[in-house]
Chains A and B, each alone.
Chain A
Amino acid sequence: MSPLPARLDDAGDPGIMRRREWFRKLVGGLIGIGLLLVPLGTGLLFLLNPLRRRADQHGFSRVASVDSLPMGTPRHFMVRGRRRDAWEVGAQVPLGAVYLVRQETGIRAFQVICPHAGCFVGFETVKRRFLCPCHDSSFGLDGAISDPESPSPRGLDELDVKIEKGEVLVRYQEFRPGVRERIAVS
């Protein structure tokens, strides 16, 4: 009594056996890749979604009245506007803040976020300069870097300002910190 061969037709043919073995490995490998690719690939696309989101493009919003600005002393004001954040869309939500500087030549607006690492820049009344409380970047009243040792790669980011009927309107924007060029976050 001899044991039955596994398959009657190819019993004993080593070539066929090798080819079948090789084919099994190939298909097994492909199945393995498929098992990984479906969750990993779809998961990756899911995680990459923020790359497709765009930052809000803001119009001008009213932040203060001209009369309320003292000459030569910057003051920060909250800016409200429309903001889309994932599922949520708000019409008049706080977006951030700006410094308004009133001088004889007119009113200028600066983003309060330090172009170095993103802290809220303060103003030193005595020394008459903007000073970042984080890494000591300092800026003059015109927003330019006032100390060559400042860690900031550029001056404060100036924002577009409009005066209408005694009111100051500002177009709110944020910029990428840490680079010399002014690149709006988009």
Chain B
Amino acid sequence: MTDLGSGLIVNHMVEYSISELDTTFGALSDPTRRAVLAALSLGEATVSELAQPHEISLAAVSKHIQILERAGLVRRRKVGRTHYISLEASPMLDAFGWLAAYQDFWGESLDSLVELLERRS
């Protein structure tokens, strides 16, 4: 961690745009949507392929996909009447980075604590 990084850690602990995190977490708060994301982690899929394992209507799955799309978690590509859906990882990276900032903060602090204890003993 460079000197410049330490300020960023705290910034990330505060900032990581809370509204975007809310949207990400909100979109992830449903089991069907998480299953859709898990399926997409294996690669692009059509809406009907994504709907297949679920015991809900195509329209219902479509609605879940729209929520993921609004949260920026998936992208849609249209070829004729077929809609291909793929994973967009960056919002999840932000959410993950938010947590990682805390991890960095503790790691850095403990390094210094060890140094201090070694000096005192």
- Decide whether A and B assemble into one complex: no
